[in-house]
Amino acid sequence: EAQVTQNPRYLITVTGKKLTVTCSQNMNHEYMSWYRQDPGLGLRQIYYSMNVEVTDKGDVPEGYKVSRKEKRNFPLILESPSPNQTSLYFCASRGQGRGEAFFGQGTRLTVV
């Protein structure tokens, strides 16, 4: 089954404690991206990757890091989380054919 898997689904952490949200896809897609969703603001792109070792900033990259060492994985790293990064995060992947994007189930992050 084609899917994008994010982990964890829920995470509560404290300010400044580094964390990683993992994302994996099984469709051999070239393109992967991270979004955050906040009430009234829709989906805002954090980072995206067009292929292995190729990443670029989206619209709200501050405070986040990503890496793309393998095609299937695209982890999101928060080196020093702050309360304003409390949000619902989604990973998505998309193939080269400009078709639909596939989304993960989401990670609800709370930073206290």
Partner 1 sequence: SQQGEEDPQALSIQEGENATMNCSYKTSINNLQWYRQNSGRGLVHLILIRSNEREKHSGRLRVTLDTSKKSSSLLITASRAADTASYFCATDRGSTLGRLYFGRGTQLTVWP
Site of interaction with partner 1 (CB under 8 A): 4, 30-31, 33, 35, 40-45, 48, 50, 59, 88, 90, 92, 94, 96, 98-106, 108
DSSP 16: T
Helix/strand/coil for 86: coil
In whole angstroms, how close is the CB of 75 to partner 1 at the nearest point? 17
Spatial contact of 49 and 33, defined as CB atoms under 8 Å apart = yes
Token pair listed for 1: 């089954």
CB-nearer residue toward partner 1: 15 or 73: 73
In whole angstroms, how close is the CB of 28 to partner 1 at the nearest point? 14
In whole angstroms, how close is the CB of 109 to partner 1 at the nearest point? 13
Contacts of 59 (CB under 8 A, 6+ apart): 44, 45, 46
